[in-house]
Structure 1
Amino acid sequence: MGFWSDVQWWEDWQLRFLVLASLFFQYFLFAAALLRKCRVPPWFRSLVWLAYQGGDVVAVYALATLFNRHKKDEVAAGAAHHLDTLWAPVLLLHLGGQDGITAYSVEDNENWRRYLLVAASQIAIAIYVFCKSWWFPDGRLLRAAILLFVPGVVKCLEKPLALRNATVNSIANSSDPTMTLSIEEDDGTLPTAMDSLEKFVTAAKRCVEEEAKRDPPLFFDDTMNDEPYHLFVDLSHPYSIRLRNLQVMAAGSGGRAEAHDRVRASVSQAFDRLFTKHKASYGGVLRAVVVLLTFADIGLFQESRRSAYARADVVVTYVLLCCTAALEFVSACVVLGSGLPLPDDQLPQYNLIGYLARTMRRPRVRHLAFVLGLEDLVDWLWCTAPPEPSRRITELVHDHVAGGWKGYINSEVDYRRFNDGRGQRTLVRARSGGDRGVDDAVERLERSLRLPFDESVLVWHLATELCYFDHVDAGGEATRRSRVISNYMAYLLLVRPWMLMPGARSGLFRAVYAELKKMLNKQDTPSQPPAVEDDEEAGKKKAPPGAMDEIARKIIRQLRNPPAASSGGAPRPRPRKAAAAELVHKAWDLAYDLMEFSKNKMEESRKKKVMEVEEESKKTGQPVNLSKEKMGEIMISAGKDGDDEMWKVIQGVWVEMLCFSAGRCRGYLHATSLGKGGEYLSYVWLLLSYMGMETMAERTQRTELPAEGDAGGLVTPSDPEDDDDGDEPAQQQARGAPSGTVATTSVTKAAAAAAPPAAVSGAAVVPVVGDDDIV
């Protein structure tokens, strides 16, 4: 008896619970929409997805329950069931969703036909219910239902239409008239029409040089900047539009200072078009009408004969109408006001040594996560460091591109070399031109840039950490920025490899982690030196076990003093078959070369300072004073100069790698990432486009490179054996027995021109952004 009474109770209260649950989902989605542009934890995004899907399911189920109730009892329902007819248009409003979360992902936009079918079927059910109960005994209640029914139907149909408006085909077919005009009918309001890259490069270089002397305009008057979502569907801008963007981005110091804010606003506008209704021109009018009608319904219901209905239904109706009216009012204020908040512009940080330190402190947690299949989630949590602000990084990218326009790009070939560079230009600038030691160190650094890009990123990431922990408190601001970009690129490799580079392998990160862990688990041999000197260099206070600096010092000590293979002390050869071990040794070779570069720069600075002291003494006629204290000051200053130069090189290489990765990511992938909080790589990608650089859309449509361009951009080893890591034992002992080699390259224009472009593989091609005679 109790069971059937519970069933009967559920039959009576089922619809009331469903409409209140639908209301709850709408409030949660409204709050979640305000946070969608921010970087939130994965569990919260899972809740947003469940609410996005569950809100529609609950609204549909409530309408179906309402349909069944009126179908079963068309006459006997009486006045007690007339009140739930007023809930049908409110459920249609809920089914229309929230303005700030029309689509959860880009794929939802492509499924607009399914949402249209659902909306049409639910509108038909609501019309059926309304027709069955249109003869309200109370005329005020009838007018309230009619007033709310019309906007409910309109808003329900608005969602699939908004989804259709954000599809790739819809955006591609709705090209801006200015874009078409600039190509076909130039009326003089745009820059002179350009039909070749050579003309664009010439005009862009002159534009940057002229605009750098002017003050920036108060507003960004480029119409394409107001519609940046064209880039997110891989539509490239014509040269005239790209030149107009460049004029604003390069205008004086203001262009650099405002670059980050302009790009951030563009990302926000693209998000609004792809995932919300905020770009709809009629949205504000519809929201105002809905707000007025919902409040009018509350007034009409207040004056109706409420005593004729069940008390529970009256309470639910009050809650439903008042809460819906409040939600629509706040939503209308957001639409008519400033809109949703700006997107998150921070750089997530993943650090290989930091991840290693956490796993070594809590090995049982790692093992339990592996057993439960939650290893990826633990990796995400343990690799993550507090995000860093990105404004300074944006300024570095702006300076890099502006410097290329001013000091390097002079032709179409230079333009493509610059876009294909991933650190070569920084290394070319680092050459001293006179100091053989510096030039040799730079030549060895260039070898790391010939690796596949994902391997190069991982090698430079580990080398940056080794240099950081070996040179504590050196480099200043360049050190911090270098590590920020390094950790972000490691994050892309592990979490977003498809955005880092097509074909990037996220497994490299875990493979190198396993290799470092195996290296640290080895027992120290008696021949290894103690770690006292390293502890003194790192600081006065010894780090706790498992700390990052202790882990890094152990890795450096192990790589600097590898275990001997025999009693004779001969260095153990590098394992050829272990790719992860090879990458670790290459990272140490790179770190060693960077530190050697720092030492050479320090010696160069020391000589220069000594010469300055001698010249100053000659001018004053006093004897040269190079006391012990004076030489100590010179050595300290020269050491700081050497470290600064090393970190400037590391920072420059990372900036070029960041631009290289951003320019090779499809716009569609950037659009997909926006639905998950966005990536800073999209900021760099938009900035490159606005400053006239080549993105994936332009690169895929470029014509065949001229012979001169191919010849000038290729570097191949002069001897195939150069790629084999076969240093002489004496060289290995001189470098603390690391396993790297000195790369020697020799390329001439004639030899490069003789090789057909199609015969050069992608893995062997390395762009060099420097003078041909230097290479």
Structure 2
Amino acid sequence: MVFSILSSFILFDGNRRLVEVFPDHVRRKWNRWELRGLVLLSLALQISLIFSGNRRKYIAKRRIRIFIWCAYLLADWVATVALGLLVDRQSNSTTSSINNNKGEYGDLTLMAFWAPFLLLHLGGPDTITAYALADNELWLRHLLGLVVQTAAAIYITLLTWEGMLLSFLTVPMLLCGIIKYGERTWVLMSANREQFRDSVLSDRDPGPSYAKFMEEFCLKEAEGYYVTATQVEEGNSAEDDLENPTGGTTPSIPNPDASILQIADYFFQTLKFKRLFVDLILGFHPRDVSQSFFEQKEYDTAFEVIEIELGFAYDVFYTKAPIIYTPFGLIFRFLTSFITLFVLITFIATIDVSSDTCVDVVITCILLIGAILVEAYAAISLLFSDWAALWFSHHSSKVKCFGQHLVTSLQSAEKGKRWSNSMYQYSLIAFCLNQKSSAFKKISKFIPLHKRLKNLLEKLESFRQLKHQTISPELKSFVFKHFKEKSTDTELDQKMMVTCRGAVSLRAHKSYGLFKWTIDVEYDHSILIWHIATDLCYNLDKSKREKDLDGQEIKQEWDHHMIYSKQLADYMLYILVMCPFMLPIGIGMIRFRDTCAEALVFFEERSSSSKIEAYEMLGQVSTKVFPATVKGDRSKSVLFEACKLAASLNEMGDPRKMWKMVADVWVEILGYAASQCRGFDHAQQLEKGGELLTHVWLLMAHLGITEHFKIEEGHGRVKLAVT
């Protein structure tokens, strides 16, 4: 069909005669193989999606996301076009006076058997139902597609119904296709923001009857009694009640010997921390339990629990997990697998192969075998997932020892693949130095480019400058220790913990008065100032050491804080430039572009032979007069404000103290961004390998550093005190 459309285009030759673009024999060849090619391509896309769909969960590189994006969009398009082409050819064959069942296109009766497989493909693999969260919002579109495509498949089946075995085999395969497509539509609806929010809300609770209480109150008062309302504390509700083996009142997890999986599931499902993804509040009880647990653990346990929780969230929003890990889902899996295997055996045993139908028979066998392989892979993925391991841990007494050890061993092999454990790094000064010598910059000097084209090329140049950095255990430990100390600090109120972005650390280091001006500005302004200053101090410090030691660098005691500062500074600039939706509203991109423009002018006016020399020239600029006084408000560049901050940091004299303070400030800046970002935006980053910002956001919530804990009062009631 596609080729037929293309072949309908015409050209005029010199004699004004119409000339076909494609020769007749090429069109005939294409018509014969068009449907076959689309069906095989659809199967290939399904296989590629089921193998790669889940890998973006722990691979942050763009090439796999681009591949999955192309396969995800093409899969639906190819299956839909193939189904439409099948309807068209079957309709033409029934209205034509010539029997076309084994004519120009091939065996159309056998091809009609492919319709259920196209429905299967439209149902998609278990490992990916939505490429992005926006796909979940379009579940009504998929529901309409389910109705239309199912009607088309049934229409094809009815047109070619001959009462033969092949016609009867089509019916169970149609059932499999409808189940698969229906599962996908149901999961998309369940992961829709509105539906998900409704699903995590507690049952309606009207509380004690105020009217009855006041009736009794007034009655006793009328009888001459002195009546007062006395507050009485109650135990926790049945929903929130926890088993405490010590018999005390300290909150605890259900079982002291629970596995990490059970603990993560307890926080995510039972205490409903999944509410955070739709910006719902939590009560005092989940806060107390969570704080008690995380404050007693080390960083590795805390981050592992968070990784598993975010893995559960990814599965809920992007895969068929909400349905396949249920009794109905398991029944559907068994049913579709059994039917497909039965149809394959029956088809191979009864099909009559001739020279005319050989190709179509082979394609049908490939479709059946492909469907079984996809089901087998899905079953293996299901068996060795966190959800299955969680089930085995809850039903350990019902599972044979061998099966338990097998799942445990394979689960440990998959450990560390729940997210990318990396972060992007982006340096403004390095970007400007590279852009100065880039081919794009040289060409733009001589050839004027359209503004949109220029912006696109700059964006591509920015992507090229991004670097991946593995997040070290030491950095995780430093971040965890910082927030743990903050959560246990009784002098800090909750609002200060959530809204501070450097002030607490500056006060702790007795430098608040000196650097107050860097945090009193807008948030994106503060990020840029501290980023450039950190980059300058980092590179100048390393350069000074190499010069003092004739090119040989030695480690200093403050090196680890210096490295943390540099990594967090580059990461937060990446968030500012590439993920601005995760930060509070501001003019960060305007400031970034103006700062880059000023840096480019500065480096072009002063030629440098090396990167270190460029940093040294920038560090030598005098900033006795505040830059804003000279520049005014026309340009939003903060380049020399950052130079002023770098000079002030170097004047502290003690590198150990200075780098410790800078690292603490950066963790606060990171925490502020994490707490201000909406849960929906955090969930959106899970399909890109995950962000450190998202893990810090959930860590802060578990430590009680969040605005999502609004319920301060416990479970209580009022009773009448009559005297």
Partner AA of 1:5 in structure 2: H
Aligned to 1:589: 644
CA drift of 1:688 comes to 0.9
Q: Distance in 2 between matches of 1:118 and 1:217?
A: 42
Tell me which residue corresponds to 1:483: 566
Q: What is the alpha-carbon distance in structure 1 between the residues aligned to residue 597 and residue 206 of structure 2?
A: 55
Checking the alignment, whether the CA contact within 8 Å between 1:422 and 1:660 is kept in structure 2 is yes
Which residue is 1:133 aligned to? 160
**Partners of 2:628 and 2:371 in 1: CA distance:** 74
Alignment-mate amino acid for residue 315 of structure 1: V
Gaps of 5+ in 1: 194-205, 432-440, 525-543, 563-570, 600-641, 704-775
1:523-579: per-residue Cα shift (whole Å, max 9, x none)?
48xxxxxxxxxxxxxxxxxxx9343x23211211234799xxxxxxxx997333454
Select between 356-365 and 147-156 the one with higher mean Cα deviation: 356-365
TM-score, length of structure 1 as denominator length: 0.71
Conserved 8 A contact 2:561-2:660: yes
The one of 150, 161, 170 equivalent to 2:175 is 150
1:576 and 2:576 are equivalent in the alignment: no
Matched, 1:558 2:605: no
1:162-181 equivalences in 2 (<5 Å): 162-175=187-200
Partner of 1:319: 366
Q: CA deviation at 1:228?
A: 4.3
Partner of 1:283: 329
1:424 is aligned to 2:436: no
Structure 1 residues 186 and 69: CA distance shift in structure 2, 3 A:
farther
Match of residue 609, structure 2, among 532, 545, 551: 545
1:240 to 278, 285, 291: 285
Equivalent residue, structure 1, for 2:465? 383
Give the secondary-structure state (helix, strand or coil) at the position aligned to 1:220: helix
Structure 1 Cα separation of the partners of residues 661 and 85 of structure 2: 68
1:188 deviates by 5.2
Distance 2:695 2:312 in 1: 13
In 2, Cα distance between the equivalents of 1:353 and 1:299? 65
**One-letter amino acid of the counterpart of residue 418, structure 2:** L
For residue 401 of structure 1, the aligned residue among 479, 483, 501 is 483
Which structure 2 segments of 5+ residues have no match?
Answer: 1-19, 209-233, 243-248, 387-413, 543-554, 714-723
Q: 1:52 to 1:405 in 2, by over 3 A?
A: closer
Q: Match of 2:706, as an amino acid?
A: E
Change (3 A) 1:101 1:16: same
CA distance in 2, matches of 1:417, 1:114: 45
Kindly indicate whether the alpha-carbon contact (under 8 Å) linking 2:43 and 2:121 is maintained by their aligned counterparts in 1: yes
> How far does the alpha carbon of each residue in 1:314-354 deviate from its partner, in whole angstroms, 9 at most, with x for none?
12112222122212211221123216951223111111122
Instruction: Note the 1:321-720 alignment, pairs <5 A.
Output: 321-338=368-385, 341-364=417-440, 367=443, 372-373=453-454, 374-389=456-471, 391-409=473-491, 414-431=493-510, 442-472=512-542, 474=556, 475-523=558-606, 545-547=609-611, 549-559=612-622, 574-581=630-637, 583-597=638-652, 599=653, 642-695=654-707, 697=708
Q: In structure 2, which of residues 66, 80, 84 is the aligned counterpart of residue 64 of structure 1?
A: 84
Relative to structure 1, the CA distance from residue 155 to residue 572 in structure 2 (aligned partners, 3 Å threshold; closer, same or farther) is closer
- Show the 5 A alignment for 1:116-131: 116-131=143-158
Q: What is aligned with 1:23?
A: 43
Q: Secondary structure at the match of 2:693?
A: helix
| SS of residue in 1 equivalent to 2:418 | coil
Measure how far apart 1:50 and its partner are. Answer: 2.8
Give the Cα separation in 2 of the matches to 1:114 and 1:405.
Answer: 45
Tell which has more relative contact order, 1 or 2 (C-alpha 8 A, sep 6+): 2
Partner of 2:717: none
- Shift of the 217–4 alpha-carbon distance from structure 1 to 2, 3 Å rule, reads closer
Q: How many pairs are equivalent?
A: 597
Letter in 2 for 1:328: E
The one-letter code of the counterpart of 1:558 is: V
Distance 1:87 1:278, change over 3 A: same
The superposition leaves residues 579-609 of structure 1 with CA deviations (integer Å, 9 ceiling, x where unpaired) of 445x222212211221222x1xxxxxxxxxx
Conserved 8 A contact 1:508-1:580: yes
CA distance in 2, matches of 1:490, 1:182: 48
Structure-2 separation of matches of 1:191 and 1:29:
40
Kindly report which structure 2 residues correspond to 1:739-750, keeping only aligned pairs within 5 A, or say none. Answer: none
Deviation at 1:306, TM superposition (A): 2.5
Q: Distance in 1 between matches of 2:278 and 2:599?
A: 41
Q: What TM-score, normalized to structure 2?
A: 0.76
Q: Distance in 2 between matches of 1:274 and 1:33?
A: 13
CA contact (8 A) 1:659 1:684 kept: yes
Report the Cα offset of residue 155 of structure 1: 0.8
Aligned AA (2:696): V
- 2:225 corresponding residue in structure 1: none
CA distance, structure 2, for counterparts of residue 515 and residue 460 of structure 1: 17
Cα drift, residue 257 of structure 1? 2.5
Letter in 1 for 2:349: E
Is the Cα contact below 8 Å between 2:264 and 2:309 reproduced in 1? no
- Residues 578/588 of structure 1: CA separation in 2 closer, same or farther (3 Å cut): farther
| Shift in Å, 1:130 | 1.3
- Give secondary structure in 1 for the equivalent of 2:69: helix
- 1:412-436 CA-to-partner distances (Å, cap 9, x unmatched) read xx222222211111111112xxxxx
Give the drift of 1:448: 1.1
Q: Distance in 2 between matches of 1:238 and 1:183?
A: 16
Give me the whole-angstrom Cα distance separating, in 1, the residues matched to 2:650 and 2:83.
70
- Matches of 1:285 and 1:192 in 2, distance apart? 33
Q: Deviations 1:332-382 (Å, cap 9, x if unpaired)?
A: 211232169512231111111221222233254674696654324333334
Match of 1:636 in 2: none
Match of 2:312 in 1: 269
Post-superposition offset of 1:255: 4.1
